[in-house]
Structure 1
Amino acid sequence: MIGKIHSFESFGTVDGPGIRFVIFMQGCKFRCLYCHNPDTFDLGAASFMLSPEQVFGKMEKFKVFYKKGGVTISGGEPLLQPTFIKEFFKLCKAERIHTAIDTGGGCLTDEVKAALTYTDMVLLDVKCIDPDIHKSLTGQPLQPTLDFAEYLSEQGISVWIRYVLVPGITDRDDLIEKHADYVSSLKNVEKVEILPFHKLALSKYEKLGIEYALKDTEPPTAERIENAKNIYKNRGIKVN
């Protein structure tokens, strides 16, 4: 089993609890307008082709740092390669290393379910709760992500929900309120992370020759970020 991998980060601090070894997988079927990793879209453009054992070897020399953190598989969309994840996470669990997946939750195959049996936490992007806006924002339907979220809830897998606050698209109070109501219906959400929109990846789009649809959109104000946080807090949901 070979994984198609874009890159690694040895000391991640924003991809789950503690210090994390982060693996960015190649390939994604989402086309989020604000994606900061457009260079991961093409499954055939991997920087590395490695086995689970080879990736574990890269991490192993640093594993003392991950005893109070763990490993996170991100992307791209990591669940396009579920069998690699399962085999790699087996190695991690044998060493009692905490495992997490950062995903848009767009697929729930038997192979994905098998990978989730070795997964301690999921960082789940529920990008917008309105189906039409979700489709225009991501290029993908909303329902598979909701099905995925509800499966995690049924299985009792810990979840952090991520919500990117994009002015003019996802920062409307009614959308945030509906999103918060949905999150509060799930049984396993530890917290919500509000991620303010930014344009740090603009140079990547220019290099790849991809139009950046949100180039004229400004980041949300501190007031709008605080407003969003309060909507979740008012429903008893912990927010970053």
Structure 2
Amino acid sequence: MTTTAFRPTEQAAQRDRCGAPIVDLTVPVVGGSSVRSSAGTAGLDVSEAERSERFAQMRAGELGSVHSWELVTAVDGPGTRLTVFLSGCPLRCLYCHNPDTMEMRRGEPVLVDELLARVERYRAVFAVTGGGLTVSGGEPLMQPAFVSRLLRGAKERGVSTALDTSGYLGAHCSDAMLGDLDLVLLDVKSGDPDTYRRVTGRELQPTLDFGRRVAASGTEIWVRFVLVPGLTDDVENVEAVARYVATLPTVSRVEVLPFHQMGKDKWEQLGMKYELEDTRAPEPELVDRVREQFRAHGLTVH
């Protein structure tokens, strides 16, 4: 596998300020990396429309609030993916590693045609690697009209599509949008309603309902479960998730994601209270136990 080539396009001071290397857009990317390296909104033209015009464009789905984008392999679906992260999320997950995506106002206004031009640029890469477009967040279903246009445009270009979502706003996903999806990455954060509320500040039921609707449509699902010691690792909580997932016939894999502290500094920079400061990453034995719980229900686990 060829890895993505990065070349410096900014001064060191700007790299330090932005935090991540910038993809040199003058060089076609012919592979990818399994390590995230966000380009922010570098390379995308930001809308300079007046405020009233922006609101009209957002209502029509022509304009979205974009946090960042990246080209990465084996992370947000099969093959090399152009992953677009949208701003805005109704959940307040205690372990969120991108709290700067929680508020839509923190994003940059980007036209859907601008993103589709980037999708067009990497069509050959997607064809070779079996990749495509993944829309993530934040919670992308905070901006359903924009997501709908973006997915439709990708499908019109023959590009595979995926949606990375908590499912909490699944009611915002129209049947037409669901029809334009090849894969749903469904974050099932807990199987116990009380634990889910503790983790996210919201109710579990909408996620369960959306997962069933996606499965009924025949759309492939990858389930993601974040394993946090002392929060989501309870045996019965994991069993509740596994039992639910086993009822969804289109689930092809479950990803057990060990908790990490990579987002801690962002919480501090935003002046937000980070409640998991003393929580350690799960021990390998705990990760193995949880993965085995899912496998016991006949699920393919990664």
TM-score range, shorter chain: over 0.9
Q: Normalising to structure 2: TM-score of the pair?
A: 0.77
The CA distance in 2 between the partners of 1:111 and 1:14, in whole Å, is 23
d(CA) in 2 for partners of 1:82 and 1:115?
9
Deviation at 1:134, TM superposition (A): 0.4
> What TM-score comes out, normalization by structure 1 length?
0.96
Q: CA deviation at 1:24?
A: 0.2
1:49 paired with 2:109, answer: yes
Q: Tell whether the 8 Å contact from 2:191 to 2:240 is kept in structure 1 after alignment.
A: yes
Percent pairwise identity = 41
1:73 aligned partner: 135
1:181 and 2:243 matched = yes
Which one has the largest radius of gyration?
2
Aligned twin of 2:271: 209
CA contact (8 A) 2:191 2:239 kept: no
Summarize the Cα distance change of 1:38–1:8 in structure 2 as closer, same or farther, 3 Å threshold.
Answer: same
Counterpart of 1:164 in structure 2 is: 226
Which residue does the alignment assign to 1:17? 78
Query: What secondary structure is seen at the aligned counterpart in 2 of 1:9?
Result: strand
Distance 1:209 1:215 in 2: 14
Tell whether 2:177 aligns with 1:98.
no
User: Runs of 5+ in structure 1 lacking a partner?
Assistant: none
Please name the residue that 1:3 is paired with: 64
Establish whether residue 58 from structure 1 lines up as the match of residue 126 from structure 2: no
Larger relative contact order (Cα-Cα within 8 Å, sequence gap ≥ 6): 1
- Superposition map of 1:80-229 within 5 A: 80-109=142-171, 111-229=173-291
Q: Residue 182 of structure 2 aligns to which amino acid in structure 1?
A: D
Secondary structure at 1:6 match in 2: strand
- Determine the C-alpha separation between the residues in 1 that align with 2:170 and 2:263: 29
Render the CA deviation track for 1:191-239: whole Å, top value 9, x for unaligned.
Answer: 1000000000111111111111101000000011011111111111000
SS of residue in 2 equivalent to 1:32: coil
In the alignment, which residue of structure 1 is the partner of 2:293? 231
Question: By how many angstroms is 1:110 displaced?
Answer: 5.6
Residues 258 and 287, structure 2, Cα contact 8 Å, conserved in 1? yes
- SS of the counterpart of 1:93? helix
Report how many aligned residue pairs link the two structures: 239
* 1:102 partner SS: strand
Q: Aligned pair in 2 of structure 1 residues 36, 113: CA closer, same or farther (>3 Å)?
A: farther
Distance in 2, matches of 1:112 and 1:4, equals: 20
**Contact 2:119–2:154 under 8 Å retained in 1:** no
When the two chains are superposed, the root-mean-square deviation of aligned CA atoms in Å is 1.2
Moved more, 95-104 or 82-91: 82-91
Q: CA deviation at 1:12?
A: 4.3
Distance (whole Å) between structure 1 residues aligned to residue 174 and residue 207 of structure 2: 13
Mapped contact 1:123–1:161 kept (Cα < 8 A): yes
